Structures are given as C-alpha cells and as structure tokens.
Structure 1
Amino acid sequence: MKIDIQRLLTMIDHKTVEAGRSHDQPLRKVAVIALVKNPYARRYVEDLSEMIAASEALGAAMSEAAVAAMGGLPVESYGKGGVVGMGGEVEHANAMLTTTFAEPLRAAVGGALAWIPSFTKRAPAGALIDVPLAHKDALYVRSHYDGMTLRLPDEMPDADEVALIICLANRGRLNARVGGLASDAIRAKDGLR
C-alpha cells in the first residue's frame, strides 16, 4: 500500500514576548499537516498492518518539512496528532501514527528518547485539535509541557481523508517556572529523566 500526501500545510508560531516579558531566545513552534486519503474509509478492516507500514514514508516527508520550518533552530520538543474524517475511525489515524511513522521523526530531530505525545480524533472538516508537546529526551521536563491548537481549513479532512500532524518546538514555554527537571540537567538515557 502507498499513501500519498494530497496537501501539505506548514504553520509557524514564532514568539518572543509572554506576559510583557521579552526573551532573547524565541519560542518557535511549527506544525506540519499532511492530508491523505483514508483507504479504509466507510468500511471495517481488521488488519491495519499495510496502513502502518505505509506511514513510514509519510513520517519521513513530514519530519523533513517540520525540521526545515524550524529555520535552523534546534528541536527540543515534539508531538503528533491526527483528525480522521467522518467516514473513518480514530483507529485509522492511530495506525498511521505508530512507531513506524515516528522513527523518521526521531531521526530527523537528531535522535530522541522520550515517547511522542499524541492526540487523535474523528471530526468534520474545519475541526480544532490540540496537539500536545513534550521534551524529546525526557518526559519529566515540565517546562516543555505545551501544545499547539490548530484549526484545519474548512475543506479538510473530507469524510474519506485523514489529516496527520507533527508539531515541533525549539524550547520550553516562555516564562516557565513551575520547577521539575531542567532540560540542561537531563542525565538518564531512559526517556524519562
């Protein structure tokens, strides 16, 4: 099975001020949204392994676009998501966002140890989705608990489409101050600390 990207959107949020405080290091968050046809729309298919295997190429193409949108800034956090059109199942987005999809993302950001936070939903065109972000190497880095709220264009996804999403950020929240492990204090190689 081959799943082609029909449309690719990139969104960039580049922020330097939060609560009236300016920061020398901006917070850049990017989202890449790929619209694909859902080969299993409007029918139940027990074995989703072909869809999972086909997602590797999607993950590679989307990861390349997301890293390019970072404009040379290092990637410290990531997240993924998906919106399935009304003719599909949430399981279809989840099948395309497994480890097979994610390994090219890990490689594209220079390696990563932590699991990638994810959110999927079934919704009509023009839906809102909140994609969670967390540090790519250690989940206990509270400053990087963040996300991106995205509104899909009014015409996507159609009932037989899926919008897949990768989000990246170069740092934690501006003005983060709730404690926890600091990103420069990550020592363990287990994806947690």
Structure 2
Amino acid sequence: MPLDVRRWFTQVEERAVENGQRHAAPLRKVAATAIVGNPFAGRYEADLSQAVADSEAVGALLARLAVEAMGGLAVESYGKGGVVGLRGEQEHANAMLTTTFAEPLRVAVGGALAWIPSFTKLAAPGAAIDVPLAHKDALYVRSHYDGVTVALPPDAPAPDEVALIVVLANRGRLNARVGGLKAAEISARDGLR
C-alpha cells in the first residue's frame, strides 16, 4: 500500500549578495516537503521494508517538485531529511529516505555519483530542521557544504505523520574560499557534463 501523502509544499531562496559581495550567479536553494501518514505510528514494527518500498513514489514527487522549483537552473547540490511526529520513531524517516526514495532524485537531477547527505529527527509539530547539502557528484567539494533550514507548518508533522524533504542548490556557497576540490575539476576529471 503506498504511503499516504497528505500535503506537500516547496520553498525557494535566491541570493546574489553576501557580506557586501555581489555575485553574477545567484545561489538558489529549494526544498520540497511531503507530509505523509506514518504507517507505524504508535507501535513497534521490526520489518520496515514496506515503507522502504513505498517511499519511491514520494521520492519521485519531491524530486519533480524540487527540480521545478529550481526554475531551469542546473542542480549541483542535493540533500534529504525527515521529521517524524511524536508517535513514531526516528527510524521510520530513515526507512523512508533510503536508496529507493533517493533514486528518482538522482534521475531527476540528471544523474549523480555522490552519497546524498541526510538528517532525521523526532519532533513536535512546527519544528525546524537543517537539511544538509553536498555536491551531487563528489562529496569532498567543500564549496558545496551547505544546508537549507525548513520550518514546518505549526500542525505538521502530526504525531502520526512524517515530513520527508528533498533540498537542491545550483552552486556552492556564495563566498566559498576554503580550498579543496572544485566542482569544475570533478566534471573534467570524471568526464561529466
């Protein structure tokens, strides 16, 4: 039985200036969130494989919403997160955010080689969560270590719900300058793009 998607929403932030420095290529960060019913709320279930399998459709929905919110900009960074309502367990979000959930995201961003950073927690309605971002093709591109803060609505997640979140960005931090591997070097080295 598919996960019960009760509602979804997106948020977009775009900035071109940081600490007085204006950048020709603004940084756009987006988050797509789905509030789903938690089929395990209020009880312990040893086998979470059904949630893993059922999460693919939610992953596809969030991938589509997030890519649309990018407004045609190429995606360089991604991440995922989850907030479990108080009658659930943190493990429920982790089950729903596995590779099954993430594969539609990799496809939607045109392929990706790197592990997708994630963060999950148990929280009351209206919680905020910082969802990490990293370069989609190489985890060690320091300029792309970032995140998106998602503030959930005051009534979500309900105790029997889970908020599942996908975040994307079109570039690294605006004033990134701590060195290390550069995104352009990854593309050239690996024959990407």
TM surpasses 0.5: yes
Provide, for residues 113-135 of structure 1, a one-character-per-residue CA deviation record: whole Å limited to 9, x for no partner.
00000000000001111100000
* CA offsets 1:49-107 (integer angstroms, 9 cap, x no match): 11100000010011001000000000000000000000000000000000000000000
For structure 2, the residue ranges without an aligned partner over 5 or more in a row are: none
Q: 1:125 aligns to what?
A: 125
Letter in 2 for 1:60: A
The root-mean-square deviation of aligned C-alpha atoms, in Å, is: 0.9
Any residues of structure 2 matched to 1:94-113 within 5 Å, and which? 94-113=94-113
Q: Specify the code of the residue in structure 2 equivalent to 1:51.
A: A
Distance 1:128 1:118 in 2: 15
- Gaps spanning 5+ residues in structure 1: where? none
Give the C-alpha shift of residue 188 in structure 1: 4.4
Amino acid at match of 1:148: V
For 1:113 and 1:2, locate their aligned partners in 2 and report how far apart those are by CA, in whole Å: 28
Residue 4 of structure 1, CA deviation: 2.6
* Rounded Cα–Cα distance in structure 1 between residues aligned with 2:174 and 2:4: 37
Q: Aligned partner of 1:46: which letter?
A: A
SS of 1:82's partner is: strand
Residue in 1 aligned with 2:148? 148
Q: What amino acid sits opposite 1:138 in the alignment?
A: A
- How do 1:83-98 residues align onto structure 2 when only pairs under 5 Å count? 83-98=83-98
Query: Under a length normalisation based on structure 2, what TM-score does the superposition of the two structures give?
Result: 0.96
| In 1: Cα distance, 2:68 partner to 2:107 partner | 14
Number of aligned positions between the proteins: 189
Q: How does 1:22-37 map to 2 (within 5 A)?
A: 22-37=22-37
Instruction: Please state whether the residue corresponding to 2:132 is helix, strand or coil.
Output: strand
Residue 27 of structure 2 is aligned to residue 65 of structure 1: no
Deviation per residue, 1:33-57 (Å, 9 max, x gap): 1000001000001111111000000
Equivalent position of 1:79 in the other structure: 79
Amino acid at match of 1:62: L
| CA positional deviation for 1:151 | 1.2
Counterparts of residues 149-188 of structure 1 (less than 5 Å): 149-186=149-186, 187-188=189-190
Structure 1: which amino acid aligns with 2:116? I
Looking at structure 1, the residues matched to 64 and 133 of structure 2 have their Cα atoms a distance apart, in angstroms, of 18
SS of the residue corresponding to residue 39 of structure 2 reads coil
Q: Using structure 1 for the length normalisation, give the TM-score.
A: 0.96
Matched, 1:40 2:57: no
